[in-house]
Structures are given as C-alpha cells and as structure tokens.
C-alpha cells in the first residue's frame, strides 16, 4: 500500500537479512541445510522482497504455514522446495501436485489421503512427516508414531518421503530439560527413517548447539533480527526500523490531559507532538504511557493512550520547531531494537513484527 502522506515508514534492511542468514549457516555444521521460515508474509516484512534475498544466499528450502502461502512462494520461485507446516488440510490435492508443494503430514489420516490420491492418479509426490515429541500441537502422536513405524511399508507406498521433523517446545530456554528430552525422543524415531532428512530445530534450536542441527534447521525470527531465547545476547543484525514524522504539535498547560480516558495529566506547561501511528497499524495499545521513542540520541516519552491512528509524545525538551520539523523519529530501530520494545509490554518480537500494519510506507534497503 502506498502511503501518499509520506509520514510513517517501515524500513526493512534486506542486506542485514541476508547477513543474518549467513551467520546462521556459520553456526551450524557444514553439511546442515539452513532452511528459512517465511510464514505470515515473511513475518510481516513482505515475502516477495525477502525470498529473493534468501535464494541469492543459497537458501533452497522454505517453510510456510498454509497452502495459500506455499502457492505464493511457488509463483515467486519455481525451483525451491516449499513445505506446508499446517499439513494436508485441503481436499483438492491437485493444488499440491500442480505447484509441487510438500505437505508436512501431521496425522495418519492425512497420510492415507495423499497415498490414495497418488494411487488413483498415478502420481509421485514429496511429503514430510511431523512427529510430536512434546509440543502437543501438530504431528503424529505416540500411538500413530508406533503404528507408522510398525507398518511403514504398508502406509508409505507411493509418497516420496523427503523429511521427518519435530518441533522444540522450549528452545527459548537453553536450560530447560525438555529440549534434551525431545531430542532423545526424536532420535529414537528417526533411526527408522534413514533415507530422508531429519529436522528438529527452529531459531532457538540453532542456539542450543550442534547436536540439535541434524540434517536441517528451520530458523524464522532470527532471520528478521528478533531474539528467540530468554536473555539472549545479540547474535543477529537488526532488520526492521519503524519511523514517523510529526503531523502536529501543540502546547498544553498544567492540569491539561492528553488522549482518551485522560490517562496523562500535565504537571507543568508542556509541548506535545502527534504522530500518525496507532493500534490500527499494529502499534499496541499496551504502549500507552509506556514507550520510548528516539530522535537522534534523545529519548522521548510517549504520553496518553495509543488510539487507532494516533500517538502523542512529550516534546517539552525541544526548544525550537526547527529541531523537530520534518524529522524522522525512531519508534523501532537501532536505538530502540525490536527486542527491547517487546519487553516493555511483555510480549515477543514475533508478535510485534507480524502485527506491523499495511499503512506504513515500506522502504526496502538493499
């Protein structure tokens, strides 16, 4: 969407994105494939711009959530491998065949469905299988896993099994014993599937050490500069910056209030600035009276409630209009990284990124 007002900007540093991918490659074993998770429109940053950057960095395996997302990837690139994490949820399997997509099979019902389809139409399709080792969300449960291992030759007759995978529930906490428990459980399963790739690690799993690498890792948030572990030191470059220009300034007197609910009351004469950013743009209402923004090195307090389209800040320390007029104030960026911003409202960088709205003027920096 073109922002003709030219007052709110979402800068996406594609060079840093590519460098983050290469940093991950250096963290894993040389023969480990580094796939990329680009679901939810590449975490809100724009998959049409993100995908070419990653393919130029020799990334050839991509994970998305839905079939719609997978088809979009295929239309951008005809050669890469595209895996659908939510599995085989559609009835029209012709789409899987037409676009050469790889469904991640999450139960035996889905496996039987794709096997019947291939038998009926004399097709050979690639599949992945997800085994639940402790997430209790998607994947074959223990009974289905035992059934598949026992009857593998009967249940997989037509499909080309290219990957088996699981998903770590607590990779954000390196000290959590569940990580080791899940890896051991998956190790027991994968010995029965020696002729395909094995994968268990997301972004957090990459930082748990090389024994979690297996044949493939599937980072997501790390590519986009977000932290994936509790108290994580800085591993990756910042990719996203959110900036805005003032649309109005005013002076208020002691006792005046600002915004809905009058939650901020001036204790002295103040200068207030208004920006065209709000919760309609994914800038959370939880930032009300609870956010810092920056102009150069100067920190500025957000005051009052975040409304749908507007936020207000305290500009009292700026003496002249020239200091602030037509300047881009940083809401998220190098001074105010996404990992710091999310902590102030007790959330995670995933949520901040994927909520960033469509009204921002996106500027891709390559």
DSSP of 77-127: -SSSEEEETT-S--S-THHHHHTT-EEEE-SHHHHHHHHHHHHHHT---EE
Looking at residue 284, what is its pLDDT?
A: 94
12 falls within a domain: no
9 falls within a domain: no
310 falls within a domain: yes
Return the closest-CA partner of residue 227 out of 177, 176, 172: 172
Q: What is the DSSP letter of 131?
A: B
Q: Does 215 lie in the same domain as 245?
A: no
Cβ count near 302 (within 10 Å): 22
- Supply the pTM of this predicted model: 0.92
As a whole number, mean pLDDT of residues 292-306 equals 96
pLDDT band at 169 (very low <50, low <70, confident <90, very high): very high
CATH number at residue 263: 2.40.37.10
Helix (H, G, I), strand (E, B) or coil at 15: helix
Q: Does 195 lie in the same domain as 318?
A: no
Looking at residue 366, what is its pLDDT?
A: 86
Contact 1, 38 (CB under 8 A): no
Q: Does 265 lie in the same domain as 168?
A: no
Return the closest-CA partner of residue 166 out of 191, 194, 129, 192: 129
Whole-angstrom Cα distance, residue 274 to residue 282? 17
Q: Does 207 lie in the same domain as 269?
A: no
Return the closest-CA partner of residue 245 out of 45, 12, 11, 5: 5
As a whole number, mean pLDDT of residues 323-344 equals 93
39 is catalytic: yes
- Cα Rg, the chain, nearest whole Å: 24
Domain boundary among 224, 257, 292: 224
| Identified catalytic residue from 25, 39, 126, 243 | 39
pLDDT band at 70 (very low <50, low <70, confident <90, very high): very high
231 falls within a domain: no
Cβ count near 289 (within 10 Å): 15
Q: Does 195 lie in the same domain as 100?
A: yes
As a whole number, mean pLDDT of residues 168-172 equals 94
pLDDT (tens digit, 9 = 90+) per residue, 125-160? 999 999 999 999 999 999 999 999 999 999 999 999
| Identified catalytic residue from 260, 265, 269, 298 | 260
Domain boundary among 224, 250, 273: 224
196 falls within a domain: yes
pLDDT (tens digit, 9 = 90+) per residue, 1-21? 555 567 999 999 999 999 999
What domain count does the chain have?
2
Looking at residue 2, what is its pLDDT?
A: 58
State what percent of residues in the chain have pLDDT above 90.
Answer: 88
Would the pLDDT of 46 be above 90? yes
Domain residues for the domain of 322 are: 240-365
The owner of tokens 């679901």 is 39
7 falls within a domain: no
263 falls within a domain: yes
Q: Does 132 lie in the same domain as 197?
A: yes
Q: Does 352 lie in the same domain as 311?
A: yes
Q: Does 298 lie in the same domain as 151?
A: no
260 is catalytic: yes
CATH number at residue 53: 3.20.20.10
Domain boundary among 190, 224, 258: 224
Q: Does 183 lie in the same domain as 71?
A: yes
Q: Does 311 lie in the same domain as 167?
A: no
Q: Does 271 lie in the same domain as 195?
A: no
Q: Does 273 lie in the same domain as 350?
A: yes
2 falls within a domain: no
């Amino acid at each position: 969407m073109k922002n003709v007002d030219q007052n709110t900007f979402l800068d996406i540093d594609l060079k840093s994105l590519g460098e983050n991918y290469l940093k991950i490659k250096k963290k894993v074993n040389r023969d480990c494939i580094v796939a990329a998770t680009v679901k939810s429109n590449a975490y809100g940053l724009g998959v049409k711009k993100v995908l070419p950057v990653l393919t130029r960095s020799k990334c050839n395996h991509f994970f998305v959530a839905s079939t719609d997302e997978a088809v979009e990837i295929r239309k951008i690139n005809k050669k890469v491998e595209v895996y659908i994490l939510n599995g085989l949820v559609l009835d029209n399997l012709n789409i899987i065949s037409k676009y050469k997509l790889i469904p991640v099979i999450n139960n035996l019902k889905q496996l039987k469905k794709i096997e019947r389809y291939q038998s009926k139409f004399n097709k050979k399709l690639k599949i992945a299988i997800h085994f639940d080792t402790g997430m209790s969300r998607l994947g074959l449960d223990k009974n289905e896993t035992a059934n598949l291992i026992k009857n593998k030759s009967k249940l997989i007759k037509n499909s080309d099994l290219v990957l088996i995978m699981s998903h770590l529930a607590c990779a954000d906490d390196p000290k959590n014993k569940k990580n080791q428990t899940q890896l051991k459980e998956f190790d027991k399963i994968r010995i029965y599937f020696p002729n395909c790739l094995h994968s268990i690690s997301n972004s957090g799993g990459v930082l748990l050490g090389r024994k979690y690498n297996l044949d493939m890792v599937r980072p997501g948030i790390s590519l986009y500069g977000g932290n994936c572990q509790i108290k994580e030191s800085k591993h990756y470059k910042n990719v996203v910056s959110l900036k805005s220009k003032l649309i109005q300034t005013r002076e208020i007197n002691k006792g005046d209030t600002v915004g809905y609910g009058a939650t901020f009351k001036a204790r002295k004469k103040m200068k207030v600035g208004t920006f065209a950013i709000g919760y309609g743009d994914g800038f959370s209402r939880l930032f009300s009276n609870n956010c810092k923004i920056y102009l150069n090195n100067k920190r500025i307090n957000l005051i009052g409630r975040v409304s749908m389209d507007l936020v207000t800040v305290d500009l009292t320390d700026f003496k002249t209009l020239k200091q602030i007029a037509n300047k881009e104030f940083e809401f998220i960026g190098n001074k105010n990284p996404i990992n710091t911003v999310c902590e102030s409202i007790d959330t995670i960088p995933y949520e901040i990124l994927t909520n960033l709205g469509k009204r921002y003027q996106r500027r891709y920096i390559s």
